[in-house]
Amino acid sequence: MEKFEDLGFSKVDYDREKRQGFPEVIYGEGKSIEQIHLIMSKLIEKHGRVMVTRVDKEKGQLLIEAFPLSKYDSVSSILLYGEPKQQFAGEIMVLCAGTSDLFVAEEAAITAEWMGCKVNRLYDVGVAGIDRLLAYRDQITTASVLIVVAGMEGALPSVVGGLVQRPVIAVPTSVGYGAHLQGLTPLLAMLSSCASGMSVVNIDNGFGAAYQATLILKLASEGVNNEITIS
Amino acid sequence: MEKFEDLGFSKVDYDREKRQGFPEVIYGEGKSIEQIHLIMSKLIEKHGRVMVTRVDKEKGQLLIEAFPLSKYDSVSSILLYGEPKQQFAGEIMVLCAGTSDLFVAEEAAITAEWMGCKVNRLYDVGVAGIDRLLAYRDQITTASVLIVVAGMEGALPSVVGGLVQRPVIAVPTSVGYGAHLQGLTPLLAMLSSCASGMSVVNIDNGFGAAYQATLILKLASEGVNNEITIS
Amino acid sequence: MEKFEDLGFSKVDYDREKRQGFPEVIYGEGKSIEQIHLIMSKLIEKHGRVMVTRVDKEKGQLLIEAFPLSKYDSVSSILLYGEPKQQFAGEIMVLCAGTSDLFVAEEAAITAEWMGCKVNRLYDVGVAGIDRLLAYRDQITTASVLIVVAGMEGALPSVVGGLVQRPVIAVPTSVGYGAHLQGLTPLLAMLSSCASGMSVVNIDNGFGAAYQATLILKLASEGVNNEITIS
Amino acid sequence: MEKFEDLGFSKVDYDREKRQGFPEVIYGEGKSIEQIHLIMSKLIEKHGRVMVTRVDKEKGQLLIEAFPLSKYDSVSSILLYGEPKQQFAGEIMVLCAGTSDLFVAEEAAITAEWMGCKVNRLYDVGVAGIDRLLAYRDQITTASVLIVVAGMEGALPSVVGGLVQRPVIAVPTSVGYGAHLQGLTPLLAMLSSCASGMSVVNIDNGFGAAYQATLILKLASEGVNNEITIS
Amino acid sequence: MEKFEDLGFSKVDYDREKRQGFPEVIYGEGKSIEQIHLIMSKLIEKHGRVMVTRVDKEKGQLLIEAFPLSKYDSVSSILLYGEPKQQFAGEIMVLCAGTSDLFVAEEAAITAEWMGCKVNRLYDVGVAGIDRLLAYRDQITTASVLIVVAGMEGALPSVVGGLVQRPVIAVPTSVGYGAHLQGLTPLLAMLSSCASGMSVVNIDNGFGAAYQATLILKLASEGVNNEITIS
Amino acid sequence: MEKFEDLGFSKVDYDREKRQGFPEVIYGEGKSIEQIHLIMSKLIEKHGRVMVTRVDKEKGQLLIEAFPLSKYDSVSSILLYGEPKQQFAGEIMVLCAGTSDLFVAEEAAITAEWMGCKVNRLYDVGVAGIDRLLAYRDQITTASVLIVVAGMEGALPSVVGGLVQRPVIAVPTSVGYGAHLQGLTPLLAMLSSCASGMSVVNIDNGFGAAYQATLILKLASEGVNNEITIS
Amino acid sequence: MEKFEDLGFSKVDYDREKRQGFPEVIYGEGKSIEQIHLIMSKLIEKHGRVMVTRVDKEKGQLLIEAFPLSKYDSVSSILLYGEPKQQFAGEIMVLCAGTSDLFVAEEAAITAEWMGCKVNRLYDVGVAGIDRLLAYRDQITTASVLIVVAGMEGALPSVVGGLVQRPVIAVPTSVGYGAHLQGLTPLLAMLSSCASGMSVVNIDNGFGAAYQATLILKLASEGVNNEITIS
Amino acid sequence: MEKFEDLGFSKVDYDREKRQGFPEVIYGEGKSIEQIHLIMSKLIEKHGRVMVTRVDKEKGQLLIEAFPLSKYDSVSSILLYGEPKQQFAGEIMVLCAGTSDLFVAEEAAITAEWMGCKVNRLYDVGVAGIDRLLAYRDQITTASVLIVVAGMEGALPSVVGGLVQRPVIAVPTSVGYGAHLQGLTPLLAMLSSCASGMSVVNIDNGFGAAYQATLILKLASEGVNNEITIS
C-alpha cells in the first residue's frame, strides 16, 4: 500500500496508523469545506473512520449533510465518523476549573473516547473553592491519567498534581482577560509548576492532551516489552 | 516645621508621617553608603526611628558600625533603628509557598512588625502539597489580613483567597527559572486569579504588601468615620 | 445544607457566603444565557439576591425579561437582583483618570454599593491636570479606602497614594493605544509605583477592586479580634 | 506517622511517597548548604534514600564530605544517596539535539535511572543532520517513552513525535542566543508542534520530564485497574 | 527620464528597474482602489507590466474589470499584468509544511514565476511525517534555491537546510494558535535554527522570499564579475 | 576639507558640525581605550573640543592621564575636553524623580551645559510626594525646555507636562525592579501619557534628551526663518 | 473664571489655555456622540474653537450636522471648529515613509496647521529609495522642526535626523505586519536610533508630535527669556 | 566511509562536506576545551582543515598551543586551521553601521574568506551620516552579495537594499541599550524592512550570513543546471 497520497494541496498520510497507532486526524481550522471533504473521503475509504477537530457550526452542518453517518458536537467543535476500533483499559479523568473552559475539556474528553478510552468528567472545580475539588479526592487518586484544563491563573493542575501518583497533562485555556494574555499566563504558570509528574500542551489543545493520554493507556494496555518488574 | 529638606541629591520628606501615617522608609538599593548614612541621620533626628530596606550584607555591616543601636537582618536585608510607636489590633498572617521564597516573606513580616503589627508566619505550604496548607485552616481563617508570597506558578494566593473572608495581598517572587520569567509569570497569574478579594504587588515587594496590610489594620484600629453599621 | 450543587457544567457554591462573607457572584462573559439563567435561579433561591458582571446589552435585556425584579446598568454591564443585606461604616472613594475609564470605575462603584458600602465618585481627574485632582484633596484624604482607575500611563494611583494614609487599590484599564498594550503598560506601571500602601488588580477589574475594598470595610466594621491598641 | 515535619523554613513532606509514589526530591537551587543538609538528613532517616537536583560543584563537594555514601554528578548537577527501591519494565529513551544540551539530558537520564527506569541515551542527533537520527530509527520506535531534549529552534521532538506511537515528552533548553530568548523560543515552538502525542515541560527541566516518564512506566508496570482490553 | 513621479500620496519609483533589476511592485494592503488604480496605470505605461500583492477578492474583482488583461489569483491574493521579460536558469523549489500554509507558498511561487524563474512546488511535507519529505530527497538536493514555508513550530527549514548545499530562505507563517503567537514562534525558531546556509524573512512574506531567491538566480545567470574559479 | 576620515574601524565625521550644528560626540561604551584615544585626538585636532559619554571609571582615569586638560565626571560617566563655543538664551530644567535616577539626570545636565545651555536642576521630586514638586511650580513654568527623568512607574513627566506650555522631553531610567522590566515599563508609560507636548527618548538616554533640548534653544536663539508672527 | 467645569463624566479644563498655551483638545475615541457633543459645546462657548481627534466617519457625519460650521477630514479623522488664533513663524515639515502612513501624517499636519503653524508635506520618501528623499535635501535642511512618520522598520527618522540641525520628532505607525508587531517594532527602533536630536511619540500619535512641534515654534516665536546669545 | 562518528557526547558529521558543500564547523560556545580539542582532531584528520567560532581568548590561547598551525582572531573570536580548498568568483561586501559592530562584521568577513570568497569591508557607515555610505555607492552596487551588519535601530540594510540588485543578508547585533532589547529591536526592524531582496539571520550571527553568502557565490560559480537564459 502506498504510504501517502498526493492531493496537491495535501499529502494524505495513510501510513500514520501503522507508524503512530492511529489514523490521521484532520485539523479543520484554515481548511476549506472542499479540502476537508476530500481528505475525509480518502480517510474513510482507507480506515472506515475519521475525526475532524476545530469545525465551526456552519462547516459542521455542511459536513453532516455530506456525510450523514457522521456526528457533530457543537461544544467541542468536533466531527466524528465511525467508532473506536479498540478499547483501552484504565480511565482518563478530565477536570476543568470553570464553566467557560468546557469547550476545551470536551475536546479532550470526546477525543479520548473516540480513540478508545473510558473518560470520567469532573468540571468546575477551580482552586478558589478547594473543597469542591477535595470532595472528589477518591475519584481523582484512582484515575489512570489526568487531563487538567484551566484558564485564568491556571493553578488547578498544580493542586491535582500534588494529590496523585499518575501522569497529569495540563491544558491552559484562552479563557480570561487582561493579564491573562489570551492564555499565555496559565501556560507559563503551568510550565513553572512546582508539582512533579506534570507536562503541558498548547493553549486550548484538548486534542493534544487526549492524544498523549491515550498513548499512555495504549502503552499500559500493550505492556512494556515483556520485562519483569522488581519491587 | 519644614515639610522636606533638600540635600541636593535627595529631598527628605519630613511631612510623610503626618500625611501618610508613617515616616519615610529608605529604599537602600542604588544608594551609596554615604547617601543612606545622611538620610538615616536626618530621619533619626526627626522621628527617632528609621527602616532601610534592600541593604546588602556589606552595607549592612558598615551601617551597624555607624549606628550601633541599629539591627540588621540578613534574610530580609532590612536594617532597623528604633521601635514601633504604636501597636495595632488584629494579626497579619504571612504565608509562603517554598523555602526559597523566605527572603520576601521575611521582608514582609519584619516590615509589618516594625510598623506595629502582630505577625503570624506560615511557611513552605505550596499548593502541590495541599494537605500541609489545610492543616492550618483554622489559623488561616482567623487572620485579619493575609500576605501570600509565592514564586514558581504563583498558585498559593488563589487557594488561600478562596478560604477566607479577609483581604489577601499576593506577592510574586523572582524564585523560579525558564518559563517563570524572573517572576513575571506568577505576577500575571496572581493578577488573573479567580479568587475574590485579592490584590497584587510587584515581584519580591514584601515591603509594599506589609505596608498596605498595616494600613488596613490601622484603619480598623482607628475606626471608620464614626458611621453606624447596619446588619 | 449541601455546600454546592452540581449542575454538570457548573458546581454552584452555596457555602461561599459562610466561607467568604458574600454569596457567589456570576461572571457573565463566556457563559450562555441558559447557563446564567440557571445559576441565577439557584442563587436567588438560596440567598434571595445575586449579581452578574460582564453582561452585554443583549443578554442584559433577555435577563431583565426573565427576572423582572432585576436591574441592568449598561455603563458597567452589571445585572443586579436584590439589595445589600448589611451596610458597612466608612466610605470608598472611586477615582478615575478619564472619561473613557468610566465603564471600569462604575463596575467598581456599583459592586461596592451592592455589597453594602457607601461610595464617593471622583471622575476625570487625570494627572496631566493636577489642579483638578488637588481641588478635591480634603475628600480624598478622608476616604476610608480608595479605588483608583486609570488607563493610558496609569499615573493617577501614584499621586493619590502619596496623599493619603489609607489603602489604595489601583485598577489599570484597557483604554489607550499603541505603547499602552491594551492595558499592560498601566498595569506594569502601577506595580512599579513608588507610592506606598498601594496594590493592584487585573486590567479592567473594577469588580475585584471593589470586592477587596469591601472586605477592608467589613474587617473594620467587625473589629479586629478584640485586641487592644496601644498608641 | 506524622505526614510532614515543620523545620520552620521548610515543612518536609513525609507523606509524599504514599501519596505520589516517590519520596520528596530536594531542589537545591536557592537553598543554603545548611538547609539542604538538614532536609537530606530528615529524608534519609525516613526513606533511606534521597536525590538533590541543581547542586553546583562547590555545594556538591561539601555535601559529599558530609554524606560520604552519596554520589555527585557534575554534568547533571545531581547528588544521589541510596538506590532505587523498584525497577520498572520498559525503557525510556533520552535524545538530545546537540552536545551543549547534555546537562539537561543527563538530568533526565540520571533522574529516571534513580527512580527505577532503564534508560537508553541517544545524543547529538539534531534535525539539521537528519540521517544521524534516522540511523537509529529502530531503537527509537521500540522505546516505551521518549524524552527529547533540544535547544536552538527545538525541532527535534516534532520529528521524533512523528516516528513513534509512544508518549513523547519534550524538554527545551536554554542553549542558544539572540532570537532563542534563553529557551523561550524552543519552548513555544515545541508547544506549537504539529506532532501528536507530545507534551512539554519547562526550559531545562530534565528532572520533570523524567519524573513524568517514570510515572508512565509505573502505571504500565502496575496495570490499569484490571479492566479488559478489547481490540 | 525622470526617476520618480510625485502623485502627492505616492512617489512612483520609475528608476527601480534600473537600480534594483525589477520595476516597482505594489503592496496592495492599506491602499485604496483609487490609489492602486493610479499607480498601476503609471507603472503599466512605463514598464508594460505590473504586479500587485495582498489584493483581497473584492479589490481583485474591481481591478480585473478596470484592467481586463490582468489576472487575479485568489489563493495568493496577487494581481498580475503582463509577462516576465526574461527567464533565469536554475529552479526555485517552494516547500510548505501544511495545507494551511498554501497562501504564503503560492505568494512565493507566483512571484518567482512572474519575475522569470522556474518553480517546483512541494507542499504538505511537514516534519511530523518525515518520510513524505524524504521521498522527494532527490528533487530537493537538485534545486538551485529553496524557499521553505512553515507555520506551527517552523521546523521544516532546519531539516531541509541540512539536506542541501544551496541557499535556503525560510518563511514563517501566521498559521497556528496559542503559543504560536501569530507566527512569532516559528519566526524566532527559524532564526535560532542550527542549520547552516539559511536566512529568514518576515511572517507570511512569501513575496520577499521569492524576490531574494530570484536575485540569486539573476546573479547566477549574469555571472559574477568575470573572475576565475579555482577549485 | 574632507568630510570624514577613514580610520578603518571608524569613519570620523568632520562634517557633522556644519551639517548638524555640533561636532561628533563619542559614545564610549563598547569602544576600546585605543579606539577612543584615536578618535578623541582626531576630533580635538579638528574642533578643539570633544565630549565622550558612557566612560567607566577605569577608562576615565586612563583618558585623563592621556588628555590632562580633560575632565571626568563619575556620576554621569562623561569625559569633557574644551569649552562651549556658544551660549544659548533660555534655560533647560532637568527634573528627576528619585535619588537613584541621578546618573541619567546628570548625563542630561552636563551634556546640555557643554553644548552651551544654562541648566536648572530639580532632583528627587517624584509624584508620590506631589507637594515637593509643586513647591517649585514657578521655576517649572518659566523654564524654556524641560527634561524629566524618572524610573519606577515613570509618572513624573505626565504631571510636569500638564503644568507647562513648553516642550517636555521624558527620559525613562533603568532604575526599578520586577514589573519595571529594566526601564521598559516607564518607557511605555511615558509614551502612553495623556499629557500634551511631550516626547520620549530611550531608557537612560540623558544625552539624547539634552541634545534635542539644545537644538530647541538653538532654533529659538537663531530665530525661525525671518517670518513674522501674527498674534 | 472657574478653572474647570464638572459634567460628572468629565471635568472640562477651561484653565488649559492659560496653563498650557492651547485650549483642551477632545480625544474622540471611546467617547459617545453625546459626550463629544456636550464637551464641544462647552469648549466652543469658552474658546470659540475646538478640535476633536480620532472621530470615525459615522460620528464625523453626525457632528457636522450638529455643528454646521465644523469641518471633518476623513483621512486624519479630525473634526475642526474655528480658526487658529495666532500664526507662528517657522515651518514644520511633515515627512512620511509610505502611502499607507498618510492617516498619521495628516493627523500631524492638520493639527499643526490648526494650532497656527505653516506645514510643508513630503510624503512617500521611505529609505529603500533614498534618492527620492535626497532630492528634497534643501527643503529638509531649512525646516524649523521635522515630524517624521514611518511604519515598517521605522528607519526614516534616523536618516533625516542625520541631515539636519533642527529637532526631529519621530512617529511610528501601526502600518506593517508580522514582525512589525502593530508598530512596536518601529517604535523601539526609533528609540534605539543612532541619530542625535530626535525624540519619539506613541504609535500613530501624529497629534502629539504636532503638539510638541508647535510648542517649539511657539517658544521660538515668543523668545527665550530675554537672555543674550553669545556666539 | 562512515557518515559520522559517535564520540558519545557528539556525533561528528563527516558526511557534511558531501551533503552540504563544506565540512562541519565547530560552534565553540558551551563546549569544553576537551570537547573542542577532540572534535577538532577528528575533523582535521578527515578534512585537513577546520574552523571554530565563538572561542573566547582563554580557550583560543589553549587551542593555539595544542594546534600550533592554527590561527586565532580575537575580534571575531574565530580559530582557523588550514586553508580554503576552492576560491569562488564574485565578491562579498561586508558593511557595518558602527565601530561597536565590528566583532560581528569580522565574524562574517573571516568566515567568508575561509570558505573561499573575496571580501570587501566597508565599516562605520551608519545611516545617521548617509553621506559616508553614499560616498561608496559604486563599490556597493558592484558587489555580488552584501552582508549588512547593524545594531541600534538596524536601519542600514534597508538603505543598502534599496541601492542594489543583488541579495542582501542583514545581521542585527546585540550592540545597543534600553529599547534595543539586546538586539531584538534591530532584528524585528530588519524583518519589517520595506526593501526588497533582503533576508535576515539571528542576532550577532555573522557566521550564518557569511555561510549563506558563500552558498550563493558557490551556486553562481557552479552554474545553475545547464539551463539556458532567455532575456
With a CB cutoff of 8 Å and minimum separation 6, the contacts of A65 are none
Residues F22 and F49 in one domain: yes
Residue to mutate among F11, F39, F199, F200, with most H CBs inside 10 A, is: F11
The confidence score (pLDDT) of residue H1 equals 57
Span A143-151, average pLDDT: 97
The confidence score (pLDDT) of residue C2 equals 84
Q: Model confidence over G186-231: pLDDT tens digits? A: 999 999 998 989 999 999 999 999 999 999 999 999 987 544 444 4
Distance of alpha carbon H108 from alpha carbon A46, whole angstroms? 53
**Cβ <8 Å between H86 and E219:** no
- Please state, as a whole number, how many other Cβ atoms lie within 10 Å of the Cβ of residue D3: 15
Q: For residue E225, name the pLDDT band (cuts at 50, 70, 90).
A: low
Q: Model confidence over G17-53: pLDDT tens digits? A: 999 999 999 999 989 999 999 999 999 999 999 999 9
G61 found inside a domain: yes
**Domain count within chain F:** 2
Span B164-171, average pLDDT: 98
Span E29-57, average pLDDT: 95
Residues C103 and C192 in one domain: yes
Span G83-96, average pLDDT: 95
A–E CB contacts, 8 A cutoff, strictly below = 50
Instruction: Tell me what ipTM this predicted complex has.
Output: 0.95
DSSP H helical ranges for C67-165: 102-114, 130-134, 137-142, 156-161
**Cβ <8 Å between C13 and A180:** no
F86 found inside a domain: no
Chain G residues with beta carbon closer than 8 angstroms to that of H163: 130
Query: Strands C26-27 and C11-13: what pairing?
Result: unpaired
The confidence score (pLDDT) of residue C193 equals 96
Residues G28 and G109 in one domain: no
Domain boundary among F81, F102, F128: F81
With a CB cutoff of 8 Å and minimum separation 6, the contacts of C102 are C75, C96, C123, G9
Q: Chain H: residue nearest D177 by CA?
A: H203
SS (H, E, C) D10-40: CEEECCHHHHHCCCCCEECCCCCHHHHHHHH
10 Å CB burial of residue E21 (0-12, 13-18, 19+) is buried
10 Å CB burial of residue H62 (0-12, 13-18, 19+) is middle
The confidence score (pLDDT) of residue E1 equals 58
Q: Which three three-digit cell numbers place residue E148? A: 521553505
Question: pLDDT 10s digit of each residue in chain H, 231 long?
Answer: 589 999 989 999 999 999 999 999 999 998 999 999 999 999 999 999 999 999 999 999 999 999 999 999 999 999 999 999 899 999 999 999 999 999 999 999 999 999 999 999 999 999 999 999 999 999 999 999 999 999 999 999 999 999 999 999 999 999 999 999 999 999 999 999 989 899 999 999 999 999 999 999 999 999 875 444 444
Is-contact F165 F143, C-beta < 8 A? no
Please report, for the domain that includes residue C170, its CATH number: 3.40.50.1970
Q: Report whether pLDDT(C231) > 60.
A: no
Span A157-183, average pLDDT: 97
Distance of alpha carbon E181 from alpha carbon E188, whole angstroms? 11
E225 found inside a domain: no
Which has the closest alpha carbon to D10: B111, B99, F123, F16? B99
Residues G60 and G98 in one domain: no
**Cβ <8 Å between G100 and E29:** yes
The confidence score (pLDDT) of residue A92 equals 98
Is-contact E141 E164, C-beta < 8 A? yes
Bridge partners of D27?
D53
Residues A72 and A109 in one domain: no
Residues C207 and C97 in one domain: yes
Distance of alpha carbon H24 from alpha carbon H4, whole angstroms? 11
Q: Which residues of C touch A (CB under 8 A)?
A: 3-4, 8-11, 13, 15-16, 29-31, 35, 172, 174, 182-184, 187, 202-205
Bridge partners of G120?
G93
Give the percent of chain F with pLDDT over 90.
91
Is-contact G183 G202, C-beta < 8 A? no
- The C-alpha of A30 sits at a distance from chain E's nearest C-alpha, in angstroms, of 6
Which has the closest alpha carbon to H76: H100, H49, H108, H46? H108
G126-G129-G134 Cα angle (round to 5) = 85
Query: Strands D78-81 and D50-53: what pairing?
Result: antiparallel
Q: For residue C223, name the pLDDT band (cuts at 50, 70, 90).
A: confident
Helix axes C206-222, B206-222, angle to 10 degrees: 50
Q: Report whether pLDDT(C21) > 60.
A: yes
Where would I find the beta strands (DSSP E) of C29-167?
A: 50-53, 71-73, 78-81, 91-96, 118-123, 145-150
- Kindly provide the b/e burial profile for residues C53-81, where b requires at least 16 CB atoms within 10 angstroms of the residue's own CB: bbbeeebbeebbeebeebebeeebbbbbb
Q: Model confidence over E117-137: pLDDT tens digits? A: 999 999 999 999 999 999 999
**Cβ <8 Å between D188 and E192:** no
Residues C25 and C56 in one domain: yes
Q: For residue G1, name the pLDDT band (cuts at 50, 70, 90).
A: low
Residues G98 and G211 in one domain: yes
Q: Report whether pLDDT(A225) > 70.
A: no
Distance of alpha carbon H185 from alpha carbon H172, whole angstroms? 9
DSSP-based helix, strand, coil % in chain D, nearest 5 = 40, 20, 40
The confidence score (pLDDT) of residue A2 equals 83
Residues A96 and A195 in one domain: yes
**Cβ <8 Å between A161 and B193:** no
Q: For residue C225, name the pLDDT band (cuts at 50, 70, 90).
A: low
- The C-alpha of D86 sits at a distance from chain A's nearest C-alpha, in angstroms, of 4
Q: Which three three-digit cell numbers place residue H27? A: 560552534
Q: Which domain holds residue H146?
A: 92-220
Distance of alpha carbon G173 from alpha carbon G200, whole angstroms? 11
Q: Chain D: residue nearest B98 by CA?
A: D10
A164 found inside a domain: yes
Q: Model confidence over F94-126: pLDDT tens digits? A: 999 999 999 999 999 999 999 999 999 999 999
Q: Report whether pLDDT(A227) > 50.
A: no
Q: What is the pTM of this model?
A: 0.96
Q: Report whether pLDDT(F227) > 70.
A: no
The confidence score (pLDDT) of residue D206 equals 98
Q: Report whether pLDDT(F1) > 60.
A: no
Residues C136 and C206 in one domain: yes
Domain boundary among B81, B105, B138: B81
With a CB cutoff of 8 Å and minimum separation 6, the contacts of G177 are E29, E202, E203, E204
F178 found inside a domain: yes
Residues E70 and E103 in one domain: no
A195 found inside a domain: yes
B226 found inside a domain: no
Residues C202 and C96 in one domain: yes
Count how many Cα atoms sit within 13 Å of the Cα of residue A154 in the half-sphere of its side chain. 39
DSSP C112: H
Task: Kindly list the strands in the beta sheet with F168-172, ordered across the sheet, starting from the edge strand earlier in the chain.
Answer: F118-123, F91-96, F145-150, F168-172, F198-200, G198-200, G168-172, G145-150, G91-96, G118-123
Q: For residue A160, name the pLDDT band (cuts at 50, 70, 90).
A: very high
The confidence score (pLDDT) of residue F4 equals 93
Distance of alpha carbon C134 from alpha carbon F127, whole angstroms? 13
F226 found inside a domain: no
10 Å CB burial of residue H146 (0-12, 13-18, 19+) is buried
Distance of alpha carbon H53 from alpha carbon H104, whole angstroms? 11
Q: Chain C: residue nearest G171 by CA?
A: C178
Is-contact C122 C91, C-beta < 8 A? no
Q: For residue F182, name the pLDDT band (cuts at 50, 70, 90).
A: very high
Distance of alpha carbon G171 from alpha carbon E187, whole angstroms? 26
Domain boundary among G36, G62, G81: G81
Q: Report whether pLDDT(B229) > 70.
A: no
- The C-alpha of B126 sits at a distance from chain A's nearest C-alpha, in angstroms, of 8
B–D CB contacts, 8 A cutoff, strictly below = 51
The confidence score (pLDDT) of residue B44 equals 96
Phi and psi (nearest 5°) for B178?
A: 60, -120
Give the percent of chain G with pLDDT over 90.
91
**Cβ <8 Å between A30 and E178:** no
| First-to-last C-alpha distance (Å) of chain F | 45
Which has the closest alpha carbon to G74: G112, G114, G102? G102
The confidence score (pLDDT) of residue D227 equals 45
Chain H residues with beta carbon closer than 8 angstroms to that of F11: 123-125, 129, 132
Q: Report whether pLDDT(E226) > 90.
A: no
Q: For residue B208, name the pLDDT band (cuts at 50, 70, 90).
A: very high
Span E77-87, average pLDDT: 94
Residue B202: which of F99, F100, F179 has the nearest Cβ? Answer: F179
The confidence score (pLDDT) of residue H225 equals 57
Where would I find the beta strands (DSSP E) of A124-214?
A: 145-150, 168-172, 198-200
Chunked mean pLDDT (size 10), chain D, 231 residues: 87 92 93 95 95 97 97 97 93 96 97 97 96 96 97 96 97 97 98 95 98 97 60 44
With a CB cutoff of 8 Å and minimum separation 6, the contacts of H222 are none
Q: Report whether pLDDT(C178) > 50.
A: yes
Residue H155: which of G155, G176, G196 has the nearest Cβ? Answer: G155
Chain H residues with beta carbon closer than 8 angstroms to that of D76: none
Q: Chain C: residue nearest A124 by CA?
A: C10
SS (H, E, C) A97-142: CCHHHHHHHHHHHHHHHHCCCEEEEEECCCHHHHHHHHCCHHHHHH
Q: For residue E2, name the pLDDT band (cuts at 50, 70, 90).
A: confident
Q: Chain E: residue nearest H13 by CA?
A: E162
Q: Report whether pLDDT(E229) > 70.
A: no
Chain B residues with beta carbon closer than 8 angstroms to that of D30: 99-100, 175
